[in-house]
């Protein structure tokens, strides 16, 4: 049987995970994203302290797990974003599907630092990867999967050259991009 306070603790933990995912955590207590004792309004002091400490502990445990994954080369972190591959080479639609199935999407660099992080994974596997960029049916422009315009590009010299026949984009091992047909087998790299 769970106590009343356990339920609140679980709810707070869930809230914290959700707000981290949305990068919209409630403010301010020293630890980013963890409400301070006085941020837990309406709770008795002793409970607020308990919940604050429990959440701070969860954050330390998450930090530790992520550090191990980074150490082992399983993930790359850039700001709030995490990039990771399942090591599989599949067509564009299957790559996107496997990322979305686990709550991510196909990785698409929005700046040089992200491009480098994704390139490191491409190099690690020595396999070109599909990026989360495709040619819009209506606009004829390359956009992110969600349809928004590109903030950053890193085309290889003379690319894109597909003249509409190459609607997907692959990353080469030097980090430059090539427009490419969508039915090739390319490394899957997801963003979370
Ligand atoms: C291939 C194909 C194209 C790319 C050229 C570069 C011959 O076509 O990968 O997408 O632009 O190579 O030479
Ligand atoms: Ca091309």
Q: Identify the residue whose C-alpha is closest to ligand 1 atom 9.
A: 180
Going along the chain, which residue ranges are E strands?
A: 76-78, 81-90, 105-106, 129-135, 142-144, 168-171, 177-180, 186-191
Q: How far is the CA of 145 from the centre of ligand 1 (A)?
A: 22
Cα 189 to chain centroid, rounded = 10
Residue ranges of domains in the chain = 4-71, 81-191
The segment with the largest mean pLDDT, out of 5-14, 29-38, 69-78, is 69-78
Dist CA 144 CA 132 (whole Å): 6
Rounded to two decimals, the pTM is: 0.83
CATH fold, domain 81-191, is Mannose-Binding Protein A; Chain A (3.10.100)
User: Per-residue pLDDT tens for 104-152?
Assistant: 999 999 999 999 999 999 999 999 999 999 999 999 999 999 999 999 9
CB-defined site of ligand 1, < 6 Å: 159, 161-162, 166, 178-180
């Amino acid at each position: 049987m769970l106590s009343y306070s356990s339920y609140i603790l679980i709810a707070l933990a869930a809230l914290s995970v959700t707000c981290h995912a949305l990068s919209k955590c409630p403010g301010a207590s020293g630890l980013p994203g963890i409400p301070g004792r006085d941020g837990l309004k309406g709770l008795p002091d002793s409970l607020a302290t308990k919940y604050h400490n429990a959440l701070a502990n969860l954050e330390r445990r998450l930090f530790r797990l992520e550090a191990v994954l980074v150490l082992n080369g399983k993930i790359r972190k850039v700001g709030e974003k995490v990039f990771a591959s399942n090591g599989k080479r599949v067509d564009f639609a299957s790559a996107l599907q496997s990322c979305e199935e686990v709550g991510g999407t196909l990785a698409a660099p929005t700046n040089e630092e992200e491009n480098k992080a994704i390139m490191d994974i491409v190099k690690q596997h020595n396999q070109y990867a599909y990026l989360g960029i495709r040619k819009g049916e209506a606009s004829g422009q390359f956009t992110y999967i969600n349809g928004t315009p590109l903030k950053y590009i890193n085309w290889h010299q003379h690319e894109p050259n597909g003249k509409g026949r190459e609607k997907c984009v692959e990353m080469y091992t030097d980090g430059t991009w090539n427009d490419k047909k969508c039915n090739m087998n390319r490394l899957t790299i997801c963003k979370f």
